[in-house]
Structures are given as C-alpha cells and as structure tokens.
Structure 1
Amino acid sequence: MKKLFTVLLAAFVLIGLTSCGNKNGGKDENIVVVYTGSNQAILDLLEPAFEEATGIDVQFVSFASAEGFAKAQAERDDPQADVMNCGGWAEIHSDEDLFIPYKNAHFDEYDPAVTDPSYLSQCNNGNTSVLIYNTELCPIEITGYEDLLNPALKGHIAMGNAIKSNSSYYHLENMLLAMGSDPENQGVDTEQGWEFVEKFLENLDGKIIDSSSAVYKGVASGEYWVGLTYDVGALTIINDGATNVKAVCMKEGVVTKTGGPGILKNCKHLDNAKAFVDYVTSKEWQEIAVTVPGQMTLRTDIEIPEYNDIGLADAKILDCNSDWTAKHKEEIVAKYQALLEKMNFGNN
C-alpha cells in the first residue's frame, strides 16, 4: 500500500509532466487517488480486484474519516485526491460544493430508499453502531445504553473520539436519538439526550481513544470491559477468534447509516474516478466485499454470509433524518466538544 508521501509526490510529478487538457492528466497517467477510511481488510481486496478489472492503478491514502474529509476540504482549490471515501451520505451533504454529481453505472440496481437522488453520494454499503463487551470481565450483561450508566462500569468503558472518527460520531448521534425525544429534530439534539450523554461521559471517566480499532481490540484484550464500536469492527474481532466478547445492538434502538464514495470537484483523474465508483457499486465487487467480516452491502441481490449477521433483523431501527443531521453535524460536534471541556476531558 502506497504511503501518503509517495502518493502526493507521484501526483505532483505526473501533473507537471502531463497535459492539463486530458481528464486523466495525460496519456501516461492512469491512476485514481482515493482518500479512504475503510479498514485494511477491504483495501487489500479492493486494490487488486479494481486494478485487474479496469487496468487503472488505485492509490489509497488512509485517514480517520473526519481527518480525511477535513484534508479534502482544505485542498478544495487544488484537490490531491479524486475520490473521497471517508464517511457517507451525511458527510458528503454537509459540504455539497466539494463534490460533483455522478449517476454511477449501477444506480438503478439499488433500492431507491438507499440511493442519493442528487447523485453526490455513491451509496454502496451500510454500517450500524453496536456495543461490544468482554463476557469474562464485565460484571453485567450489556443490552443497551442504559447499562453504561452502571457505577460498576466506571472507568472500564471505551469510546472513540467523536470529533475525529465518523464511527464514534455515529454512536454519539445514535445515543442522542435513542435517549432523547424530539420528532421535529429527529431526536438528535434534545435536552434529554444531552443529559444522558453527560451522565455517560461521567461513567466513561476519560476513556476516549483516537483509534477506533483500539476500542474493540481493547475489549478483546481485557484493557476495557465495554466498548462503543461499529458492526464491522465488532464482527472483525469476533471472526478473528475472540471468544470472550459479545456484540449487541442497543435495545433502545440503532441507526443504520449508508456509506459510499463521492467524486471530488476539480479532481485530476475524473474518468478514472467515475470508473472507481462504477466498480465499487457493482455486484462483482460487492460479492467480494461481503466476505470481509462486518462488511455490509446495500444491494438486495447479494446473500450476506451468516458470520456477518449482527442481529439487525431483531433490532429496533430508529428513523434518523439524514438531511437534518448533515446540516447540523457541526453543531452537534461543537456541543460535544464543549461538554468534554466542561468535564475536563483534556484535549480529547
């Protein structure tokens, strides 16, 4: 996998040597640069599969999702990537001017309920916030958010940084929605919800972690008893052989999120960016992708392996207005950060 400095150096050199009039930067340049928050297991499969199918060299630059998105925003006048795959529908629609619309080749093969009619977000997968706990160490059975306020768990719960990590932000959003009530705002920004978050943070006792993977790995190793994570992470650690952990959908309800790439405006390899989006939304790739533990698809013509079953069929699914959350995410993050500062969580 290419390192960041290699990707950027290659981009600068090739741009200088090739014609600006060619949509892919010149006849000798056949690459697509993708900023991604995807896990390494997916990237290890996607790189050779895409290159074999298209003959295009894909160069992944990995970030925590929020950091990758922020980098693309900072580079909007001279994008160093062609495709942004750090986040999903809500993130893309929080800064629509950063992307161009494109109706991918497989758009009509998806259920209209999970597609983006603006063609900005190339929705092709989904994810769900879950709780994971160490069955050997945790003194209680974990069934939902309410259990996280149990005094016996204080200092033994881990959560990622909702300011930097999309998966952790989704958990914050899920918690606010599940524990609050306000139909107009879809329950995401309510006094009741924020009161619960503050109580939860008191019991979290400073265990905010910058690495999302450190949450589920830490629960499996026994460093923490309980973790707030996402389905891909939880199922990955379980399918890797961790027999001492259990993942559960919160009894109060879960939000399922659609994710997928967006093509950056003024990108240097537009044709290749479109080819990448066409491939990752295809049935060919999605059949490969769902073999990775925890990886979900939004296609309805693909059978999901049993080991990727997180229990969604029996879970309470919460309705979360993606339009509202896209427009108000910055406000939610700002309130969360202010709450952390109020509670002396340091620089977390």
Structure 2
Amino acid sequence: MRYIPSLSVALLALAVTGCSGVLTNNAGAGGEGDAKTLTLYTVSGPEVTDPILAAFKAAHPDITVQRIGLPGTGEAFARVRAEKDRPLGDVIWGGSSELYTANADLIAPVELPNDASTVAKDPQHVWHATDLLFQAIAVNADKFADAAKHPTTLEDLAKPGYAGGKVAFATPKSSGTSYSLLTTMVTLHDWDYVTRFAGNATLLDGSTAMFNMVKDGEVGTSFINEDLGAKWIAAGVKIKLIYPADGVSNQIGSAGVIKGAKHQEAAKTFVDFLMSKQAQQVMVDKVQRRSSRGDIAAPQGLPPVDQIKLAKVDPKWAADDKDKILQQFDDAVKNAQN
C-alpha cells in the first residue's frame, strides 16, 4: 500500500509554505461586505462549537456566524457539492483531513497565518488542522475487572476466546470513528485480522451506541474517542482508556473555506481563528480535545503525543477507496459468521 504522510509524520515535518494558486489571508476574493457575516456548515455538536463560537464573537464582534449543523461529514460535503454552482455556505468545519482532500474541488486553497503553528499541515492549503482526535480502546472496569487480561494491542481484540467477551463496534458505514479504526486495522494488520476481529465484535448502528455500551457496562470492551472517554472518567465513569501498542487510530480534524463562497474574507478570518492560540486553548480547556498546535499541551488526563504510537494510514487510499473498503468489511463480517 502506498503511504502518504499523515498526522504521525506531520508531527515531525516542516511546514510547506509555498504553493501556487493559493490565496493569502490578505488576498481580496469577495465583496465589500465580506467582513460582516458568514454561513458555517459544521458536523460537530454544540458541545464542540459553542465555546469556540463564543470566543470568536468576542474577538470579532463585527462578524456574524450563522451555524448550520449537519449529521456527518459525508452529508456536509454532499450539500456543498449540490450548491457548487451557487455556494450558500462559506466555511465547512469538522471531519477528518482525508475527506477534504477527496473533495478538494469544493474547497478554496487558502494560505493562512496560523497554518504555520499547527503540527499537521496540508501543502495544498485545502484543509486546515483544527484539532487532533485519537481513538482508544475503552474497558469497563466493573464488567471486565481482571486488569491482567486487559488488551494492550488491537491484535489482542482479534484473538480467539478474547477474555473481554464481545467488543462493541459501530458499523463503519455509519460511523466515521469506526471507519478510521477499520482503515487503521487494515494498515497495521490485514483483512484476515478484520475477519478475526469481526468474530469477536458486536456490530452497532452508530458511534453513540458503541460508546454507551462500554460506559453502561453492557460490554467489557469498546472503542471511544479519547476526549469523550476522558470526560466520562473525570465524571466518575469506571472505564479505562488503553492506547494500542501496535498503533493508535487518529484523525486530523479540519476546516476549509468553501470555493466560491460569497464571504471569503470573513471565512478566512474564521478558519484562521480556529487555529489561533486563543481558540485552541478553548478547544483544550472547554472541549477537552487535543489542540492542533504544537505550543499547547494536551488536555488534562490525556497522554502527550510523544507517548503514543500513531498509526500511519494512507489518507488518499482511505478516501478514494472507501466504497471498496466498506464492501471488504461486509465480506469479512460474512466470513466471520461462517
């Protein structure tokens, strides 16, 4: 499989700053009223967006943000594509970087000042890193009490007779978290591994069910986005987060300026603010999600990036071959049942 550098390499890479056809933050692309309003399409819930939108309003009281929430990144890009000839949105925020790369024809390549401060950078300036999201194994300490038998790797979850019983796993057709996990599994291991894992899994319709089953003790093991897991642990939920030693699934949360947007200047100001130290500190303190910047520490309760082995998934493969990957997953599930 051809490897294109993702977050794990970007953390060590130098920024690529020169790119032809890129709008700088000072390049005028819209009309005189650009600095007054913008329409935001976001796939993140209000628990993520509200604290940051409040900070933006305080910093830029002259710009009005009209927030339109959408259920998933696929739906968000489908809407932008349907409006391609007459864009109604200005900014799309949320979802992982590879989906922006796969839909690069819909996004304006814009070079922004705060791009230089992020640990992951798009040389083409289509996506802009707004947060880092890692997926951990979650173990319910009551349901699966024997710590000596807790998994330490993804490989452990596929072993016959896995001590933790069934592993809650959302179908990757409906869950972006599980799709990221699936591509990580295939990259680190192979499709035979996926078949073995599927034999130990309880398949669910969405991420929320996957998270809640381990929280409520219906299963001993699941996966979880680490920021949610850390919040639950802080609230007293008896779960344990385990970062697989063979590789941790990870996503670069992103935002972009919609190509042809009516309010380009306001859009660039907003996306640049998302990467600012002010907004990123809010991301850490109030959202409890990892900052995309290298100068802000991880939220309390989460390990530093340099203590985690991040999986190196080819983002182009994950984006371009999604239909094929999902079909292969269905085949693996069927094989596991035979």
TM range (shorter): 0.7 to 0.9
Query: 1:240 and 2:235 equivalent?
Result: yes
- Could you tell me which residue of structure 2 aligns to residue 199 of structure 1? 196
**Candidates 117, 127, 138, aligned match of 1:121:** 127
Q: Which runs of 4+ in 1 moved over 4 A?
A: 26-29, 152-155, 337-344
**Residues 159-212 of structure 1, C-alpha deviation per residue, up to 9 Å, x if partnerless?**
223123322211111111222xxxxxxxxxxxxx1111122122214x2232x2
Tell me the residue number matched to 2:11: none
Indicate how the Cα distance of structure 1 residues 51 and 329 shifts in structure 2: closer, same or farther if over 3 A, else same.
same
Contact map agreement 2:291 2:297 (CA 8 A) in 1: no
Please state if 1:209 is matched with 2:209.
Answer: no
Distance 1:133 1:75, change over 3 A: farther
Q: With the length of structure 1 as denominator, give the TM-score of the two structures.
A: 0.77
For the residue of structure 1 that corresponds to 2:192, the secondary structure is helix
Tell me the CA shift for residue 339 of structure 1.
Answer: 4.3
SS in 2 for 1:125: strand
Instruction: Name stretches of at least 5 consecutive residues in structure 1 with no aligned partner.
Output: 1-21, 180-192
Show the counterpart of 2:182: 172
- Maintained 8 Å contact 1:88/1:121: no
Per the alignment, residue 331 of structure 1 pairs with 324
Determine if the alignment matches structure 1 residue 284 to structure 2 residue 278. Answer: yes
Q: Is 1:145 matched with 2:147?
A: no
What amino acid is aligned across from residue 173 of structure 1 in structure 2?
A: T
Identical counterparts, % of pairs? 24
Give distance in 2, aligned partners of 1:90 and 1:32: 24
Question: Offset at 1:291?
Answer: 0.9
Distance of 1:78 and 1:146 partners within structure 2 = 48
Q: Secondary structure at the match of 1:93?
A: helix
* Aligned residue in 1 for 2:226: 231
1:275-314 equivalences under 5 Å are 275-292=269-286, 294-307=288-301, 309-310=302-303, 312-314=305-307
The correspondence for 1:251, drawn from 245, 250, 258, is: 245
User: Using the alignment, how far apart are the partners of 2:326 and 2:83 within structure 1?
Assistant: 22
- 1:90 deviates by 0.7
SS in 1 for 2:139: strand
Shift of residue 259 of structure 1? Answer: 2.0
Tell me, in whole angstroms, the C-alpha distance in 2 between the residues paired with 1:255 and 1:28. Answer: 38
Alpha-carbon RMSD across the aligned residues, in angstroms, is: 2.8
CA distance in 2, matches of 1:337, 1:80: 37
Indicate the residue corresponding to 2:17 in structure 1: none
User: How far did residue 239 of structure 1 move?
Assistant: 2.4
| Richer in strand (by share) | 2
SS in 2 for 1:267: coil
Partner of 2:168: 158
Which residues of structure 2 form unaligned runs of 5+? 1-28
1:78 and 1:158 mapped to 2: Cα distance?
42
SS of the equivalent of 1:126 reads strand
C-alpha change, 1:296 and 1:71, in structure 2 (3 Å) is same
Aligned-partner residue type, residue 205 of structure 2: I
The partner residue of 1:104 within 102, 109, 112 is 112
Tell me which residue corresponds to 2:9: none
TM-score, with length taken from structure 2: 0.79
State how far apart, in whole Å, the 1-side matches of 2:218 and 2:154 are: 20
Partner-residue secondary structure (3-state), 1:302? coil
Partners of 2:286 and 2:169 lie apart in 1 by: 23
Aligned residue pairs total 303
| Pair 217,290 (structure 1): closer, same or farther in 2 beyond 3 Å | same
Matched residue type, 2:156: D
